[in-house]
Amino acid sequence: MFSASAYSAQMKEAASYVRQQLGERQPRIAIILGSGLGDLADSLTESIYIPYGEIPHFPLSTVAGHKGRFVAGKLGQQEVLCMQGRFHYYEGYDLKQVTLPVRVMKLLGIETLLVTNAAGGVNASYHPGDLMLIEDHLNLTGENPLIGENLEEFGLRFFDMTVAYDRQYRDLAQQIAAVMGLPLQHGVYAWLTGPNFETPAEIRYLQTIGADAVGMSTVPEVLVARHCGIRVCGISCITNMAAGIGEGLLSHEEVNETADRVRERFIHFITALTAEL
Ligand code: HPA
């Protein structure tokens, strides 16, 4: 049975450890780096590394292509706290564990979350390698990290999700992409648990209900971030066309290969965006 008081105590211990490691630094922006996109953290300067394994009560990331640590440092002129590797529901963690880092971010004073992921393109006009600004999401799992006793110190039991992905940040991302001459798709991200990629029938269903991209992350973190008032900006890297849309079969290798190919553009864009958040 979920114990709110034990969970609160755990996140406070975790936050206090991370705060100690951060010393004088006070990042206001956190960036969650998705599958194959973790290299962005290597372009920070004055970096401090905090492996998840050293943080009390933190789970460990088990996915190939995910490193499993916080990297705090400067991206351009901005102090940021990056998650190089995140936790997924399909790894066997419950959603309270998956989203623990977001609560820790809140306790550390993070005000803005830039969340990224690798995703399958459901919108047939997309191409592998496209970046997509997340405008909204579909939670198709029937799961929610906020089920159970509400943690009043973080937010309301019933909270608004009308503009979960901050409108001002969306406008900003579009403007920055336009100035950079970077094509930026915008659309709806659908969350399914994985770990399997979807069936073609599931993808046809997603198309009819208005999804543009599909993935196995992000939504739980965004729910917890919005619950506690952290502003959210979301970017998907379309690493492959979803099942049945493109030719051939899907693989984690393809996801990582495309993410690799997009790396420079992705880092450039996220750096420019972060400078304006
Ligand atoms: N489906 C689900 N998750 C994904 C995909 C996909 O096609 N590509 C990258 N993450």
pLDDT per residue over 166-206, tens digit each? 999 999 999 999 999 999 999 999 999 999 999 999 999 99
Helix (H, G, I), strand (E, B) or coil at 271: helix
- Ligand 1 mutation target, pool 214, 217, 258, 261, most atoms within 8 A of CB: 214
For residue 224 the two structure tokens come to 């917890």
Q: What is the pLDDT of residues 195-252, one digit of tens each?
A: 999 999 999 999 999 999 999 999 999 999 999 999 999 999 999 999 999 788 988 9
pTM for the whole structure: 0.96
Sign of CA dihedral 71, 75, 81, 86: negative
3-state SS assignment for residue 2: coil
Evaluate if residue 45 carries a pLDDT over 80.
yes
C-beta of residue 89 within 8 angstroms of C-beta of residue 226: no
**How far apart (Å, rounded) are the C-alpha atoms in residues 39 and 84?**
8
Tokens of 76: 């351009």
Question: Residues 76, 274: contact at Cβ < 8 Å?
Answer: yes
Say yes or no to pLDDT of 147 above 70: yes
* 94-107 mean pLDDT: 97
**pLDDT value, residue 219:** 98
- Average pLDDT value over all residues in the chain: 94
Q: Are 259 and 236 in contact (CB under 8 A)?
A: no
Q: How far is the CA of 115 from the centre of ligand 1 (A)?
A: 16
C-alpha closest to that of 37 among 80, 77, 66: 66
Q: What is the spatial distance between Cα 188 and Cα 213, in angstroms, rounded to a whole number?
A: 6
Beta-bridge partners for 238: 119
pLDDT of residue 140: 96
190 lines ligand 1 (CB under 6 A): no
Q: Could you give the residue numbers annotated as active site?
A: 35, 66, 88, 90-91, 118, 216-217, 240, 252
Asked if residue 65 has its Cβ within 6 Å of ligand 1, the reply is: no
Query: CA distances (Å), 235 to each of 21, 25, 88, 128, in order?
Result: 28, 26, 17, 14
Which pLDDT tens digit goes with each residue over 113-129? 999 999 999 999 999 99
Share of the chain above pLDDT 90, in %: 87
User: Could you tell which of 191, 250, 256, 260 is best to mutate to test the pocket of ligand 1, judged by most ligand atoms within 8 Å of the CB?
Assistant: 250
Instruction: Work out which ligand 1 atom sits closest to the CA atom of 242.
Output: 7
Question: Is 220 touching ligand 1 by the criterion CB < 6 Å?
Answer: no
Query: So what's the pLDDT on residue 173?
Result: 98
What is the CATH number for 218? 3.40.50.1580
Q: How is residue 13 written in tokens? A: 């211990």
How many Å lie between the centroid of ligand 1 and the Cα of residue 95?
A: 19
Range of the domain at 262: 4-276
Nearest 5°: phi and psi at 40? -55, -35
Residue minimizing CA distance to atom 2 of ligand 1? 215
Query: Quick one: tokens of 176?
Result: 């920055």
The 10 Å Cβ neighbour count of residue 148 is 14
The count of domains in the chain is: 1
